Amino acid sequence: MKSKEKSVQKLSLFAITWPIFIETSLHLLMGNADTIMLSQYSDDAVAAVGISNQILSVIVVMFGFVATGTSVLVAQNLGAGSLKEASRIAVVSIVTNILFGLIMGLTLIFFASKIIIMMGVSHTLIADATLYLQIVGGCICFQSGLMTMGAILRSYRFTRDAMYVTVGMNLINIIGNALFIFGLFGFPVLGITGVAISTICCRLIGIVVMFFILFKKVKPSLPFLYVFKKIPHVELRKILRIGIPSAGEHLSFNGSQLVITSFIVLLGTEAITTKVYAQNIGMFVLLFSLAIGQGTQIMIGHQVGAKKFDEAYRRCINSLIIAIIVSAIIGIILYLFSYQIFRLFTNNHDIIVTGSILLLLTAFVEPGRAFNAVVINSLRAAGDVSFPVFIGILSMWGVSVPLAYILGIHFELGLKGIWVAFIVDEWLRGLLMLWRWRQGKWRQMALGRRGLQSDAS
């Protein structure tokens, strides 16, 4: 019991969250570096990569069902002192997600063009979007491995190590972009192809380094031979029991965003480009909520494993208050400097004007997203995974998608109408998630679970 107490007491929201914040910021910076550098090459290239990344984001969510289940289970087992079970779950998840990534990569290589055409993309963008999707998507197993290993490192509270890997990946990505987009030091100017090559190279190096860190730092050492002795039915069942419903909420969101992107395609290439710029900039508002949500999930996972339910309840509420306040402040600041920020990407006046309005609306969207980033992660960490999926599907497909079409296309409000739909969806889901947390059913779910195993088992 003493070791359990020490494990939980050592946890600090700030100590866990700030490396996650930097890491998440750098992941976003990687995407924005691609966008900024490609914007000097071609606005059409930005649109093509934006569409491809929208598709890839849906695929990445599928890897999330393993990574999310792993993160929750590892944290809960560590909180309960079940170190052997935590290490077994970690190994099973790494192998499972990398194999899944290989299968999805082959699928994207052979069917990329058909997927792009199904999106209704303009003929001028099809070739570039397909090429990027085939190169980056074909090597998506690197991303699936990185997601899983990163989740494991964070659950073991090695958040700084995950951050350092991301710093290195960003540097490699930016250097690669500079070489292949601008042709520095005699390198060929490859445009989208160069960005894709740079992306997969930095991910390959990242996964190798992260594997080395796991091998060196996690004690007891991860038993990689375990998965080759027998099919790990028990561990897979535990991971999927939490991971599949959790991924369902993310998959529903990304699927709905994919449909909404198809609406934006109807508005033209300029609208697609504006959407890519506005969402990339707006993500800076969400960063803090995402980081504090992940940090809160780790803490609550440990606290639930140690049966400290009152502390877990207070942790979620306090984290939520901080996330809402900071999201609102950052959103307003970005809007006030929106013209200057957009000029970093483009000189197109129409894109700048529309994008500025979208950033104003984003200042209302993001506090709603703070609810979802913090409270859904808290519910998930406590084992209450089905409710967020049910409400997510109901709101995203029953509110966000139809309202986006009605306001944006039918009433011809364009991107502004679509952003209003985002506001309604995020706030509706967020308030319902807070009601669920305050209701406290997650306490009974956590007490009723029999997923944690002792080292003796």
> Distance (Å, rounded) from C-alpha 211 to C-alpha 117?
37
- Which contacts qualify for 118-125: CB closer than 8 Å, 24 or more apart? 119/51, 119/55, 119/258, 119/261, 119/262, 119/265, 120/262, 120/265, 120/266, 121/51, 121/265, 122/265, 122/269, 124/44, 124/269, 125/44, 125/47, 125/48, 125/51, 125/269
End-to-end Cα separation, the chain, in angstroms: 18
pLDDT interval class at 65 (50, 70, 90): confident
The share of the chain scoring above pLDDT 70, in percent, equals 92
Nearest CA-CA partner of 206 in 150, 165, 160: 165
Q: Is residue 199 in a domain? A: yes
Q: Which of 380, 239, 368 has the alpha carbon at shortest distance from 296?
A: 380
Residue 91: is it exposed, middle or buried by C-beta count within 10 angstroms (0-12/13-18/19+)? buried
* pLDDT at residue number 452: 42
Q: Are 163 and 22 in contact (CB under 8 A)?
A: yes
Q: pTM, whole model, 2 decimals? A: 0.73
| 351 Cβ neighbours under 8 A, 6+ residues apart | 270, 273, 274, 277, 342, 345
pLDDT at 380 over 90: no
For the segment 242-296, what is each residue's pLDDT rounded down to a tens digit? Answer: 777 776 777 788 788 889 988 998 898 889 888 888 888 888 788 888 889 988 9
Residue 209's CB is within 10 A of a number of other CB atoms, namely 17
Q: Is residue 1 part of a domain?
A: no
Q: Closest by alpha carbon to 138, among 169, 113, 170?
A: 113
The yes-or-no verdict on residue 151 having pLDDT over 60 is yes
Whose tokens are 């999805």? That residue is 104
The greatest distance separating any two alpha carbons of the chain, rounded to the nearest whole angstrom, comes to: 66
Q: Which residue has the higher pLDDT, 4 or 379?
A: 379
Taking only the tens place, the pLDDT of each residue in 393-413 is 999 999 999 999 999 999 989
Residue 454 lies in a domain: no
For residue 398, give the DSSP letter.
Answer: I
DSSP 161: H
Report DSSP state, residue 457. Answer: -
Q: Number of structural domains, the chain? A: 1
Residue 121 lies in a domain: yes
419 occurs within a structural domain: yes
197 vs 239: CA distance, rounded Å: 33
Residue 8 confidence (pLDDT) above 90: no
Q: Is residue 303, in this structure, part of any structural domain at all?
A: yes
More confident site: 204 or 47: 204
- Specify the pLDDT at position 7: 43
- Reading the block at residue 170, the tokens are 């960003």
Statement: residue 235 has pLDDT above 90: no
Q: Is residue 4 part of a domain?
A: no
| pLDDT attached to residue 386 | 86
Is 3 domain-assigned? no
Structural domain for 121, as ranges: 9-448
Give the Cα separation of 58 and 253 in Å (integer).
9
Instruction: Report pLDDT digits (tens) over 330-348.
Output: 999 999 999 999 888 888 9
User: Is the peptide bond between 402 and the residue preceding it cis, with omega within 30 degrees of 0?
Assistant: no
Mean pLDDT of 354-379: 92
The mean pLDDT value of the chain amounts to 84
Average pLDDT score over residue span 6-21: 68
What is the predicted pLDDT for the residue at 3?
Answer: 42
For 443, list phi and psi in degrees, rounded to 5. -65, -45
Spatial contact of 419 and 398, defined as CB atoms under 8 Å apart: no
Residue with tokens 């914007």: 39
Q: Closest by alpha carbon to 145, among 235, 87, 211?
A: 211
